[in-house]
Amino acid sequence: MSHDEGFEGGYRHGQQLRFFRIDVTGAGQAHLLRIMELAFTDIVTADDPHPHVITATHLLREGAQQLTFFRSHGPLRRSLLRGSRFDQLELFTQITPLDEPIGPSRAATLSWEWLDQAAYGVDEGDGASYKGWRVFNQRYGLVDNHGDAFIAVRPTWIYLSK
């Protein structure tokens, strides 16, 4: 690492995170569950032999394009951070509270069921391909700069090399 290399938030020797930073493209329900188990673990207790599993309290289904999980203590509010597209009134009103908080297993099941109905778009590959998923978050371990959005799922094609 060079001495002038910088990371998010201006930290020179690391990153400020609230949740694990995830960006995994894969396929299969079993792999999806493994990624969700990591995504639903609080980074602060990462060295604990019994890590603290967080729960999702809200969900946003953006049609068949993206599924986003939120974690909130109390009612979901607009983000304190600036620039989140989830704060647009049209999207913010579509974020629904879950009947009860869910963990990684239920989130993986919901995601898998949603992916079964998701719009994958046109298969642009000229070789072998199959339907997969991308589980991700972004800067600071958040999704789209919203303080309570911590993981999102998108449908994606998996292309096999020739």
At 95 the three-state DSSP class reads coil
Pair 84, 144: CB distance under 8 Å: yes
CA 52, CA 48: separation in Å to the nearest integer? 8
Instruction: Tell me the pLDDT band of 80, cut-offs 50, 70 and 90.
Output: low
Q: 115 or 4: which carries more pLDDT confidence? A: 115
| Section 23-41 average pLDDT | 95
Mean pLDDT for all residues in the chain: 82
pLDDT at res. 121: 83
Q: Output the pTM of the full model.
A: 0.82
